[in-house]
Structure 1
Amino acid sequence: MIAIGALSTAKGQSLSKPFPQHTRYFKGCIKPNHVSQAGLDKAVGAFYNQWKKRYIKTIPGKAESYIWFEGKGGKQCVSEGQGYGMVITALMAGHDPSAQKTFDNLLRYCRAHPAASTKYLMAWAQKTNGKDLDRSTATDGDVDIAFSLLLAAKQWGNAGDINYLHEAKARINAIMQHQVNLKTFTIWISDAIEPGSKYYYATRSSDFMPSHLKAFKQVTGDVRWQKVIAAQYKLFAVLQNQHSPDAGLVPDFMININNKPKPAGPDFLESKNDGDYNYNACRVPWRIAVDYLMYGDARAKKFVTPINSWIRRTTNNDTYNLSAGYSLGGNDLKGRYFEALSFIGPFGVSAMAEGKDQVWLNHIWDYLTAFKLQDYDYYDNTIKLLNMLIMSGNYWQ
């Protein structure tokens, strides 16, 4: 990565990595090249301003903020969104002079809603009255929250009111203790998994964020994270090769991971499409591609290459042919012929792995950024912003 000089905020707080960063990704990786770097940065900053105004809510009378869920089911917040918001806020410091205050408020909300297992994990959902739906966890939210604290430690240092690095390490250790199956070194869906349950040897594909886990290993020295990364990559390779040889996709949920891994059946946990490339798995190309962008991991490139080839082939290189969900055979899910930013953006990040996908990447950038915030919900808009940060070169590890 290139070195960027420190910047001071309005309060005099020094920033180590102020936005924009213009990160140099791994050799051979690409960014949209039909828009200037200044144009990419401007688009990210403008969308962030809209996103923050709509989704970051502060509790009256408290120094606590949350990412508004804006969905059905009477929820105020989910830990997944809280993690997204904390990562975004740490990356946008420099553009947003109040980023640290916002980040700290988001962290305080996490602390105010601890899991039953440990105070270093977050209860997965809060109702509109602020009460926890229950006190179990969603692993993806905790992984992003822990990683965001590493970003904060780098961005603002640890000499202020919050020692970000200390809290990050505590949360990372809690994830290993409560959310990793130490028999298979695969990632559990939650901390509430009991031996003998159907979830004990299951995993959610979108919980695997290898670049985050590499950072966890680096700061804690816990070599078990290497085992988790290796086990999950091996699992993904099996699912690709045996269940999606043409498209290279993985399903939302995988089961039997201790024996003969396979896609979960309908209604395993969330919907009839639990065994398809649906609203969880749609994040996987982004999460895996980042491992190649940041670390050049050959396993990551091997994973995204068939996906990139298939999606260009099945859409005939036309972004308007993208659908919101696919079978592992690569066919559109029935009734899902509409635009979903949570599917579109990750295909853009995965396209960054190779120069041959440059025109496709440019088309995805234009397509993704043209959609208006008011036409989509929290999930689509937040994934859009995270993916824009990566595609514009403003993501760092």
Structure 2
Amino acid sequence: MFMSPSTVSSSRRTGALKRVLQGLTLSLLCAAGSAHAQSHPFGSHHQAYHPSTLRVSAGQAAADSATSNFYWQWKSRYVEPGCQPGEYRVRASTGDGAHVVSEGQGYGMLIAAMMAGQDVQARTIFDGLHRYNRRHPSQNNPDLMAWAQDSSCSDILDHDSATDGDLDIAYALLLADEQWGSSGAIDYASEATRVLNAIAASNVNPTTRLVNLGDWIKWPEDTKYYYATRSSDWMLGHFRSFIGRAGADWSQVLSAHQTLIETMQNRYASSTGLLPDFIINTHATPRPADANFLEAPHDGSYSWNAARVPWRLGIDAAISGDTRSRDAASRISRWIRGKTGGNPSNIRAGYTLAGRAIEPYNDMVFMAPFAVAATTDSGGQAWLDRLWNEIVSTAPTEDYYGDTLKLLSMLCVSRNWLTP
């Protein structure tokens, strides 16, 4: 919701009084803005990327402009007030009755922290998203968020957490502390520590050091799922930023995921590098999940969850330059570049690990994350440029998932991503 300044007009006012009032208004606006001043405004490119990371040929100014323009479209479609004063939520409308999901709340917090300086409401939105999250605690660990609510803000579909939302929320709180400090109404640093401790207690398998599916996973009640993990939750850049912070030995967590990525790519996708939505048997011989393991017939394929993997792996490689991350991300990029003949229109919505298309159509959910991986692909400059042009020229899909992944990917490729 946008607030417009009030206008005052009267033919009886003198020009001098008008100038006094205008000066007072400007002073008040500047004071309000300074209260929300950010350390790293959008477009400042504070975050250094690795020297080998590719840039789009369109140029930095054009990339910033395209990302900002799409942000305003995204915000107008998906950011809305919550059910209590001072709350905000990201409208997901997933089709299973969930109007809001913790994944979307985490995405919204990431976006708000990175758009600070471009949007004067960024901190207000961030704080509102956080307030909403705190009003919806998981029934298992109240320091994590219940993963789904209906349009009336009632928790539905169990009251458990989902690991991806938890991780993005923790990371975003660290970004907020970096952007605005923690001396205001919300102590972002303390809140991040609280969530990180909860993630370590409820979302990290103590044996494998891999993230689980959510805080509902218990031993021995959930033997089917206890040694399972979702590839789209492998947020290598988050784990890297968590090192030295509360909760866990995050360096072990990072290494465990990189080792599993190498195992899965070499053993099950040697020609493609693709990862499946879900991986099971992680304590022994990891393998792709069977059909309908948790969500869908393609749980063991590169499908609607794993579509985020090129983004998650790609942004860690693009910033850190870590060899293991770069090898994993560029391997996927080289394959899809060859598979499509360098034409983004030939991307399809899902693949088997061997590279056979699952659906006959393209979708932004799959296309946008490939652009992040393309920045790590030394031979992929033309491919990156074609992906970027296609992404920028595509109108909003009116689908929360596709539009949000598009915006997050644009933040990465335009070099507006931040690390705490």
Shorter-chain TM-score category? over 0.9
2:68 equivalent in structure 1: 45
1:153 equivalent in structure 2: 177
Paired AA for residue 56 in structure 2: P
Q: Offset of 1:267 from its aligned partner? A: 0.3
Three-state SS of the structure 1 residue aligned to 2:80 is: strand
Moved more, 179-188 or 291-300: 291-300
1:235 equivalent in structure 2: 260
CA contact (8 A) 2:52 2:376 kept: yes
Measure, in 2, the Cα distance between the counterparts of 1:12 and 1:72. 39
Moved more, 289-298 or 342-351: 289-298
- Cα separation, partners in 2 of 1:61 and 1:232, compared to 1, 3 Å: closer
2:369 equivalent in structure 1: 346
5+ residue gaps, structure 2: 1-29
1:63 matched to 2:86: yes
> TM-score w.r.t. structure 2 length?
0.89
1:388 equivalent in structure 2: 410
Paired AA for residue 216 in structure 1: F
Q: Offset of 1:307 from its aligned partner? A: 1.0
1:183 equivalent in structure 2: 207
1:135 equivalent in structure 2: 159
Three-state SS of the structure 2 residue aligned to 1:299 is: helix
Output aligned runs, 1:211-230, within 5 Å. 211-220=237-246, 224-230=249-255
Alignment counterpart, residue 36 of structure 1, candidates 59, 62, 71: 59
Shift >3 Å, 4+ stretches: none
Measure, in 2, the Cα distance between the counterparts of 1:209 and 1:87. 13
1:109 matched to 2:132: yes
Q: Offset of 1:8 from its aligned partner? A: 8.3
2:8 equivalent in structure 1: none
1:96 matched to 2:119: yes
- Cα separation, partners in 2 of 1:46 and 1:355, compared to 1, 3 Å: same
- Between structure 1 and structure 2, the one with the greater Rg is 2
Number of equivalent positions = 386
Paired AA for residue 64 in structure 1: E
Measure, in 2, the Cα distance between the counterparts of 1:149 and 1:359. 36
Measure, in 2, the Cα distance between the counterparts of 1:226 and 1:147. 16
Measure, in 2, the Cα distance between the counterparts of 1:223 and 1:194. 19
Alignment counterpart, residue 326 of structure 1, candidates 335, 347, 351: 351
Output one character per residue of 1:133-170: Cα deviation in whole Å (capped at 9) or x when no partner.
12111100000000000110000111111110110011
CA contact (8 A) 2:115 2:122 kept: yes
Q: Offset of 1:376 from its aligned partner? A: 3.5
CA contact (8 A) 1:253 1:263 kept: yes
> CA RMSD for the aligned pairs?
1.4
5+ residue gaps, structure 1: 1-6
Measure, in 2, the Cα distance between the counterparts of 1:119 and 1:215. 24
Measure, in 2, the Cα distance between the counterparts of 1:110 and 1:245. 40
2:13 equivalent in structure 1: none
- Cα separation, partners in 2 of 1:359 and 1:9, compared to 1, 3 Å: farther
1:163 equivalent in structure 2: 187
1:366 matched to 2:389: yes
Measure, in 2, the Cα distance between the counterparts of 1:261 and 1:223. 23
Three-state SS of the structure 2 residue aligned to 1:356 is: coil
- Cα separation, partners in 2 of 1:317 and 1:302, compared to 1, 3 Å: same
Q: Offset of 1:236 from its aligned partner? A: 1.3
Three-state SS of the structure 2 residue aligned to 1:355 is: coil
2:273 equivalent in structure 1: 248
CA contact (8 A) 2:83 2:153 kept: no
1:209 equivalent in structure 2: 235
Paired AA for residue 185 in structure 1: R
Three-state SS of the structure 2 residue aligned to 1:190 is: coil
Three-state SS of the structure 2 residue aligned to 1:165 is: helix
Output one character per residue of 1:149-199: Cα deviation in whole Å (capped at 9) or x when no partner.
011000011111111011001101110100000111111001011214210
1:4 equivalent in structure 2: none
Q: Offset of 1:60 from its aligned partner? A: 5.1
Paired AA for residue 187 in structure 2: N
CA contact (8 A) 1:349 1:390 kept: yes
